[in-house]
Amino acid sequence: MNIFRFLGDMTHLISILILLLKIYATKSCSGISLKTQELYALVFLARYLDLFTEFISVYNSIMKVVFIVSSLAIVWCMRGHRVVRRSYDKELDTFRHYFLIAASFVLALLVHEKFTFTEIFWAFSIYLEAVAILPQLVLLQRSGNVDNLTGQYVFFLGAYRAFYILNWIYRYFTETHFSRWISCVSGLVQTALYADFFYYYFISWKNNAKLQLPA
């Protein structure tokens, strides 16, 4: 644990809390990609298969449970809540996310650190998380206007990965046998996907204007 990983975890948690606030306070999921949320739920389920078999710390176990439960709760709200699901932008959320799932799994079978069940699914979760935001970004570009809470949700989600890059750099220089290169490369790819969004987010913040993305 170091300050960069802690800040990454906290910004990730803040992004989830913002999304839950948007859904429960407004009873709306407009502007949110269900497909991205389903991908994140799959990411956490695949990554934390060791929840009941490997104990690292109380903090680590709590965060695993929080991410799994919150991601499943968001998917349930968007699919099952009788009021929230009415606001889902189904006609805009058409990204074929199953291609991302298939490609990530094949890549995990080919490129991994150890050929074991948990390591294959760990690598799968890393690759899938790197591209899980794509349906959300495509939906926002199609809709053009981005409401305040949705914009903050995506911003903090991107900030979480940026802090994790600093975490990996720190660990590379302070740990003797740091070898999570799959996480590093995937994290760089994931952060790069946010570059366009960050630019327009900064412009809107600088001009004190509503966030708008080019169609």
Choice between 208 and 110, residue whose per-residue pLDDT is larger? 110
- 3-state SS, one letter per residue, for 122-166: HHHHHHHHHHCCHHHHHHHHHHCECCHHHHHHHHHHHHHHHHHHH
Residue 59 buriedness (CB in 10 A; 0-12 / 13-18 / 19+): exposed
Is residue 54 pLDDT above 90, yes or no?
A: no
Mean pLDDT, rounded, for 57-66: 93
The predicted pLDDT at position 171 comes to: 86
pLDDT in tens, 4-28: 999 999 999 999 999 999 999 899 9
Is residue 1 pLDDT above 90, yes or no?
A: no
DSSP tag of 212: B
* CA atoms lying within 13 Å on the CB side of residue 40: 26
Is residue 213 pLDDT above 80, yes or no?
A: no
| Confidence (pTM) | 0.90
Bridge partner list, 145: 212
Quick one: tokens of 181? 């290169």
Amino acid identity for residue 183 in this structure:
S
- Average model confidence (pLDDT) for the chain? 90
With cut-offs at 50, 70 and 90, classify the pLDDT of residue 215: low
Quick one: tokens of 205? 């913040």
Using an 8 Å Cβ cutoff, are 211 and 146 in contact? yes
- Choose among 71, 63, 20, 8: nearest CA to 43: 71
Bridge partner list, 212: 145
The predicted pLDDT at position 176 comes to: 79
With cut-offs at 50, 70 and 90, classify the pLDDT of residue 69: very high
The predicted pLDDT at position 137 comes to: 92
* Dihedral sign for Cα atoms in the order 185, 107, 180, 53: positive
Within a 10 A sphere around the Cβ of 166, how many other Cβ atoms?
15
With cut-offs at 50, 70 and 90, classify the pLDDT of residue 194: confident
pLDDT in tens, 134-185: 999 999 988 877 888 888 999 999 899 889 889 888 888 888 777 778 888 8
Mean pLDDT, rounded, for 59-72: 94
Percentage, residues of the chain above pLDDT 90: 60
The predicted pLDDT at position 169 comes to: 87
With cut-offs at 50, 70 and 90, classify the pLDDT of residue 96: very high
Using an 8 Å Cβ cutoff, are 42 and 98 in contact? no
The predicted pLDDT at position 47 comes to: 94
